[in-house]
Amino acid sequence: MPLILHGLQPLHWAAAGAALAALTLGLLFVGNRRLGISTGFEDVCSLVLRQTYFRRDSLLASRRWRMPFVVGLVLGGFLSAAAGGGWAPTWALGMFDQAVGFGPTGKLAWMFAGGLFIGFGTRLAGGCTSGHGIFGMSNLELPSLVTTVSFMAGGIVTTQLVYRVIVN
């Protein structure tokens, strides 16, 4: 199946997994940091919010590496699009367009709602696919296994409900 992005062929899963593993290990071996991206939301929040939670030392200390890393994620996506056929803003969402067919306003509302679940859920769980799924599971941490099973379950139930029940 081609990617939504310019209809490109995706990397082989093993190549992608090996690359993500190498980068995760590089972050630990060189930077002495455990991979984790969802705390990046708190980093951004801490720039404007003044509550105790966003003033804790551990958060302010990690901002120094995570903010540039997150900016890099945006840059990586930009370079991927630019090198793969040119960068251009797009509303394309693949099967969402065919099956659900919301216009721009509906898409923004749907994505915003999804984002609320992501932001609140990842912080309540203490991590996301990167911090729990890749790093925590690799480091054999029980909370990470529990969280990974939980978010996979939440995702499976939701997608099955949307695509096999509601729009079917």
Q: Under rule CB under 8 A, which residues in 115-144 are in contact with another protein?
A: 115-144
Shortest distance, CB of residue 104 to another protein, whole angstroms?
8
Cα 143 to chain center, whole Å? Answer: 19
Site for another protein in 46-105 (CB under 8 A): 49, 51-54, 56-59, 62, 64-66, 68-81, 84, 87-96, 104
Q: Does 23 bind another protein (CB under 8 A)?
A: yes
- CB 101 → another protein: shortest distance, Å? 14
One of 25, 60, 166, 167 touching another protein (CB under 8 A)? 25
| Dist CA 45 CA 52 (whole Å) | 12
Least distance from another protein to the Cβ atom of residue 70, Å? 6
Which residue has tokens 């804790």? 56
Going by C-alpha positions, the residue among 28, 24, 17, 40 that lies closest to residue 127 is 40
Q: What is the DSSP string of 123-147?
A: HHHT--IIIIIIIIHHTT-HHHHHH
Question: What residues from 30 to 49 belong to the interface with another protein (CB under 8 A)?
Answer: 30-32, 34, 36-42, 44-45, 49
CA angle 38, 125, 28 (to 5 degrees): 50
